[in-house]
Structure 1
């Protein structure tokens, strides 16, 4: 049996649940003793939601991308998205292109596809102003073209931010090659959604599991750690980075990735990189924003709230990639496990108030 068939079969049988969250200040981050009530109404703002415009999806399939992260490449339409949002109490989604972005194309094809996706997204929130926002996809790893597209998407199309993958062609964010793009995004005070990318088959163990179960979380952790280690997050403080899936494994490993300053590594650190500091690393980890997609549990939220405050946690559904496993409950709650940890007021903060604070155009559109 081929690797592709193994992954596809595993995906069909073991798809993840998209999630939502809210959180307490770090000192109060303790699971609730009993299930809490849930806010009512269509109030959620979804910052981890994907879309596949028709020409983009056709190009994916044409180039052999019949699965994304081991999940069968889904259908998508604005009508399906709105029906999903209405069922699960979501007022608006900030749409983004998932892995592999447009990097499976090359040269002008990638540039044209990025422009197509971003223009398509802008038209969606013109047609449905209270239901959609969007993060711009860039023709990475072409840095010059990506800067140009970022400026166009943010300044002309008025998209709400950009989406970047954890790595492009095996080069992780944090690498100096991405520096000019970070300068440009810092100048725009950009909100950047950092989404994991699939690792090439030759660079990971052969396991009969789809990437989204584990590998995606590890790749987010690699990117965020390298960004801190190279000082990228220090040099560009105006960029607000949202880490997918509750930061991958970064919250759990927060102490481990900061101990270099306490070992011989701190003494041997390259002179051209900022010397690691356990206190500064903890501060940088606390500055990331963490979405709740596929992380709607007390265990995941306790880990996140051990490293940051509730104001840095935002709701994400991961739809349509989570479509097959979202709970079909009478409550229409997309992440009922969150009520094992948060009360209604806390969920409202993370599921609505925090996302809208970061996306002022969308906040104005929905009348917040």
Structure 2
């Protein structure tokens, strides 16, 4: 059992329906007090306690396949190197207790179907082996050989039931077909039956499907694609039909929180005989509020206040986006100081530690 003293709390006292006032006060005492003045925000909150639910890995064979297929950049960002040792060093420097690893865009869908199945199994087995060695520092979300639905169901069952990974990662769309499309129904049913935690990550758009602007996708297109997928899953009723799936949206949900009023306008407007989708957005505010939102590359006051206006603090989880954030996180200290502009120290402890572990029981038990 890893010792994280003096920052370890009795998790069973903190987890549950919510954090009691006494537990919140205890967390504040451990990580500091106050809401985060300008001076305090520049300092580490203290301790290696953060649980990172938006962190990527590139196992050797996977990275080699990316390069051999011309993926010298991912979303416009240079394809990074990765190793477990580098990841642990990063975590130690930035006060992160554990990371839930995932394969980023483009997943394995750039490969031929058989190669994609083999690569997904390789990545997921690599993650399981890493967890067996370093289970107190790593969890993992399984990559699936999408858009092959039958193979993806098989791999999801193997990853969740046999390898015991912590969830799965899905891209917002595959070959232009967004999550929420009826073609994905059998996979959603399989994930719902396992109450799976599903990390939704954006993917790059082909050049003929977006405006020609001289900026990389990760700066802005990624956020729009997350919004498209999240809205489409509500519009087509996926969120209603599969309520056991817990969806985490990357990068604070893209633009979804900011657009929540506009997307939910159907809820407040009598449309009479106006045409509606097969399942309308009448419940949009509740559905938007039920997504989980990570802080990766979005730990700003503007983004967090937008999320809080559309959801609840319990739905926010910490994310670093490492190693794709390596250029901005190259030193050590507090990886998200601007969170102090929005949250008290105790509230930050909820966002960065309690909320993530509440969703991943295997990882929670490993780090307690």
SS state at 1:267 partner: coil
- Following TM superposition, by how much is the alpha carbon of 1:328 offset from its aligned partner in structure 2, in angstroms? 3.1
- Following TM superposition, by how much is the alpha carbon of 1:47 offset from its aligned partner in structure 2, in angstroms? 0.1
Q: 2:336 aligns to what?
A: 335
- Following TM superposition, by how much is the alpha carbon of 1:260 offset from its aligned partner in structure 2, in angstroms? 3.3
Answer whether contact 1:327 1:335 (CA < 8 A) is retained.
no
Question: Which structure carries more relative contact order (alpha carbon 8 Å, separation 6+)?
Answer: 1
Instruction: Indicate yes or no: 2:132 matched with 1:126.
Output: yes
Answer whether contact 1:136 1:150 (CA < 8 A) is retained.
yes
Deviations 1:50-81 (A, max 9, x none): 00000000000000000001000000000000
- Following TM superposition, by how much is the alpha carbon of 1:34 offset from its aligned partner in structure 2, in angstroms? 3.4
Deviations 1:243-265 (A, max 9, x none): 00000000000011112352648
Answer whether contact 2:36 2:344 (CA < 8 A) is retained.
no
- Following TM superposition, by how much is the alpha carbon of 1:338 offset from its aligned partner in structure 2, in angstroms? 1.3
Instruction: Indicate yes or no: 2:352 matched with 1:326.
Output: no
Q: 1:18 aligns to what?
A: none
Q: 1:143 aligns to what?
A: 149
The 1-side partners of 2:63 and 2:131 are apart by: 20
- Following TM superposition, by how much is the alpha carbon of 1:275 offset from its aligned partner in structure 2, in angstroms? 3.2
Q: 1:243 aligns to what?
A: 249
How many residue pairs get matched?
Answer: 332
Q: 2:279 aligns to what?
A: 274
Match of 2:69 among 60, 63, 74: 63
Answer whether contact 1:93 1:132 (CA < 8 A) is retained.
yes
Superposed, 1:276-291 pairs within 5 Å as 276-277=281-282, 280-291=283-294
Answer whether contact 1:290 1:314 (CA < 8 A) is retained.
yes
Q: 2:362 aligns to what?
A: 361
- Following TM superposition, by how much is the alpha carbon of 1:135 offset from its aligned partner in structure 2, in angstroms? 0.1
Structure 1 141/315 Cα, relative in aligned 2: closer, same or farther at 3 Å?
same
The 1-side partners of 2:36 and 2:84 are apart by: 39
Match of 1:89 among 88, 95, 112: 95
Superposed, 1:25-64 pairs within 5 Å as 34-35=37-38, 39-64=45-70
Q: 1:260 aligns to what?
A: 266
Q: 1:13 aligns to what?
A: none
The 2-side partners of 1:316 and 1:353 are apart by: 13
- Following TM superposition, by how much is the alpha carbon of 1:184 offset from its aligned partner in structure 2, in angstroms? 0.3
- Following TM superposition, by how much is the alpha carbon of 1:90 offset from its aligned partner in structure 2, in angstroms? 0.3
- Following TM superposition, by how much is the alpha carbon of 1:343 offset from its aligned partner in structure 2, in angstroms? 1.7
The 2-side partners of 1:188 and 1:82 are apart by: 30
Q: 1:226 aligns to what?
A: 232
- Following TM superposition, by how much is the alpha carbon of 1:39 offset from its aligned partner in structure 2, in angstroms? 3.4
Tell me the TM-score normalized by structure 1.
Answer: 0.87
The 2-side partners of 1:161 and 1:174 are apart by: 18
Superposed, 1:153-168 pairs within 5 Å as 153-168=159-174
The 2-side partners of 1:48 and 1:276 are apart by: 28
Match of 2:307 among 304, 319, 333: 304
Q: 1:15 aligns to what?
A: none
- Following TM superposition, by how much is the alpha carbon of 1:344 offset from its aligned partner in structure 2, in angstroms? 1.0
Answer whether contact 2:36 2:340 (CA < 8 A) is retained.
no
Structure 1 338/265 Cα, relative in aligned 2: closer, same or farther at 3 Å?
farther
Match of 1:317 among 293, 310, 320: 320
Q: 2:112 aligns to what?
A: 106
Answer whether contact 2:45 2:334 (CA < 8 A) is retained.
no
The 1-side partners of 2:256 and 2:102 are apart by: 22
- Following TM superposition, by how much is the alpha carbon of 1:266 offset from its aligned partner in structure 2, in angstroms? 6.8
Answer whether contact 1:48 1:317 (CA < 8 A) is retained.
yes
SS state at 1:124 partner: helix
Deviations 1:90-114 (A, max 9, x none): 0100000000000000211000000
Tell me the TM-score normalized by structure 2.
Answer: 0.87
Structure 1 265/281 Cα, relative in aligned 2: closer, same or farther at 3 Å?
farther
Superposed, 1:3-18 pairs within 5 Å as none
Structure 1 266/169 Cα, relative in aligned 2: closer, same or farther at 3 Å?
farther
